[in-house]
Amino acid sequence: MKGRLFQRLRQLSISNSLRGAFLIGALLTLIVSMVSLYSWHEQSSQVRYSLDEYFPRIHSAFLIEGNLNLAVDQLNEFLLAPNTTVRLQLRTQIIQHLDKIDRLSQGLQPAERRQLAVILQDSRTLLAELDNALYNMFLVREKVSELSARIDWLHDDFTTELNSLVQDFTWQQGTLLDQIEANQGDAAQYLQRSREVQNEQQQVYTLARIENQIVDDLRDRLNELKSGNNDGVLVETHIRYLENLKKTADENIRALDDWPSTITLRQTIDELLEIGMVKNKMPDTMRDYVAAQKALLDASRAREATLGRFRTLLEAQLGSSHQQMQTFNQRLEQIVRVSGGLILVATLLALLLAWGLNHYFIRSRLVKRFTALNQAVVQIGLGRIDSTIPVYGRDELGRIARLLRHTLGQLNAQRRQLEQEGRRAQRDRSRPTRHAG
């Protein structure tokens, strides 16, 4: 098989061999060029992706994260704002950061922009809910403060009136003792009056104890509200407790109907009970406080969920960008490896072709045979028509050698013919000479 291949190659003409070598070289050059062009195209695509998509998206993601962190910090300050003015200023700043995030989202993919637009809309709605919850909490805290101040004022007024009555009781008892010592005969009357004063004093002390219980309960409930340890069940318990105290207080108040001096104490207790039991006062305030606190807690939980969605989207965006870049790098690395191998193979084939063309064609078929043919022509030029032409084959040099051999053969034949004719003519000239002798 190999011998036949070489034999067929040797039968090719020089022009066909050179044309085949040129075509093979052109084909190898085309392969190297196409591989190089494809590698350049892929590298250019990666560079364009990096400049047009990857780096802008990464930059946008970092800017969005930075503005998100600022918005979160301001949102924390927003939740702790001391007054409405500061809260409104912080709300405006947070909305500005959200609008900036919306503008920065133009550098993301369409699907990510749509997701981020939904999150931003939810964030604006959540901010409005937080603002409303904080405003309601502010109002109910103001109401709680007003109730607390009113309770303290009534308690102080009750204490002042109680101290005044105690001083009056002390004065009355001292006066009665003096009268008993001065009027021994009427001692029974004064003793009866002293017992009445003591009874009144005892009822007043009972009212004071009830008032302290009411005030303590009201204060405890308000403190529980402020500490967040209250719910709707405790409101009903509070009302039932005050109802029991009201029954006790009413029994003692009826016993004091004959003592006008205790009217202020009774009115104070009635006001305290009204604060604690009337629906539109402390019960509704407690329920409003619990509702506002729950709404604020729900909004805070929704805030954490929204921030989690924000960060999940940003992490997914960064991860997707890194994954695409890594895919590009792996693909480019594979392309470079394959194209490098193809270029190396094409280069080796080109070198092998050059070596084979030089060794098996130029040196053996062209140079040696052309030199032998040239030497034969020189010999022929010198008149040595009997020179041999050691060049064979079906290519151009072989045909030239055959033509020269044919020409030399004809020349040799003509020379031999001339020699024969010359010898014949010489013989013919020598025959008459013999006959004459």
Are residues 30 and 108 both part of a single domain? yes
pLDDT mean over 302-308: 84
Task: Decide if 124 is inside a domain.
Answer: no
Are residues 267 and 212 both part of a single domain? yes
Q: Is the pLDDT of residue 234 over 70?
A: no
Residues ≥6 apart with Cβ < 8 Å to 160: none
Which pLDDT score is estimated for 259? 61
Instruction: Kindly indicate the confidence band of residue 153, based on its pLDDT and cuts at 50, 70 and 90.
Output: very high
Are residues 107 and 153 both part of a single domain? no
Q: pLDDT over 70 for what percent of the chain?
A: 83
Report d(CA 145, CA 150) in Å as an integer: 8
Are residues 95 and 30 both part of a single domain? yes
Instruction: Kindly indicate the confidence band of residue 152, based on its pLDDT and cuts at 50, 70 and 90.
Output: very high
Report d(CA 211, CA 3) in Å as an integer: 127
pLDDT mean over 68-75: 83
Domain ends where: 297, 314, 335?
Answer: 297
What pLDDT, in 10s, does the model give residues 116-128? 888 888 888 888 8
Domain ends where: 231, 264, 297?
Answer: 297
Are residues 330 and 366 both part of a single domain? no
Mean pLDDT of all residues in the chain?
77
Angle, in degrees to the nearest 10, between helices 110-182 and 55-79 = 10
- Domain of residue 213 covers 144-297
Report d(CA 338, CA 342) in Å as an integer: 6
Claim: this prediction has a pTM higher than 0.85: no
Are residues 372 and 271 both part of a single domain? no
pLDDT mean over 391-405: 77
Task: Decide if 434 is inside a domain.
Answer: no
Please state the domain count of the chain.
3
Task: Decide if 8 is inside a domain.
Answer: no
Instruction: Kindly indicate the confidence band of residue 131, based on its pLDDT and cuts at 50, 70 and 90.
Output: confident
Q: Is the pLDDT of residue 258 over 50?
A: yes
Residues ≥6 apart with Cβ < 8 Å to 115: 313
Which pLDDT score is estimated for 192? 67
Q: Is the pLDDT of residue 113 over 50?
A: yes
pLDDT mean over 281-298: 83
What pLDDT, in 10s, does the model give residues 349-379? 878 877 877 776 676 667 777 787 788 788 7
What pLDDT, in 10s, does the model give residues 159-176? 888 888 778 767 766 776
Contacts by residues 196-205 (CB-CB < 8 Å, ≥ 24 positions apart):
197/169, 197/172, 197/173, 198/173, 200/169, 200/256, 200/259, 200/261, 200/262, 201/165, 201/166, 201/169, 203/252, 203/255, 203/256, 203/259, 203/262, 204/162, 204/165, 204/166, 204/169, 204/256, 204/262, 204/265
Are residues 256 and 192 both part of a single domain? yes
Are residues 399 and 365 both part of a single domain? yes
Are residues 247 and 282 both part of a single domain? yes
Are residues 201 and 173 both part of a single domain? yes
Collapsing DSSP states into helix, strand and coil, what is residue 390? coil
Instruction: Kindly indicate the confidence band of residue 156, based on its pLDDT and cuts at 50, 70 and 90.
Output: very high
pLDDT mean over 186-212: 73
Task: Decide if 238 is inside a domain.
Answer: yes
Instruction: Kindly indicate the confidence band of residue 71, based on its pLDDT and cuts at 50, 70 and 90.
Output: confident
Task: Decide if 217 is inside a domain.
Answer: yes
Task: Decide if 2 is inside a domain.
Answer: no
Question: CA-CA-CA-CA torsion for 334, 338, 343, 349, nearest 10 degrees?
Answer: 160
Are residues 310 and 293 both part of a single domain? no
Which one is predicted more confidently, 325 or 417?
417
Q: Is the pLDDT of residue 8 over 90?
A: no
Q: pLDDT over 90 for what percent of the chain?
A: 1
Are residues 266 and 216 both part of a single domain? yes
Task: Decide if 71 is inside a domain.
Answer: yes
Q: Is the pLDDT of residue 81 over 90?
A: no
Which pLDDT score is estimated for 60? 78
Collapsing DSSP states into helix, strand and coil, what is residue 1? coil
Domain ends where: 273, 297, 321?
Answer: 297
Which pLDDT score is estimated for 437? 45
Give DSSP secondary structure letters for 141-202: HHHHHHHHHHHHHHHHHHHHHHHHHHHHHHHHHHHHHHHHHH-STTHHHHHHHHHHHHHHHH
pLDDT mean over 255-265: 68
Beta carbons of 75 and 328 less than 8 angstroms apart: no
Which stretch of 194-198, 342-346, 348-352 has the lowest confidence by average pLDDT?
194-198
Task: Decide if 129 is inside a domain.
Answer: no
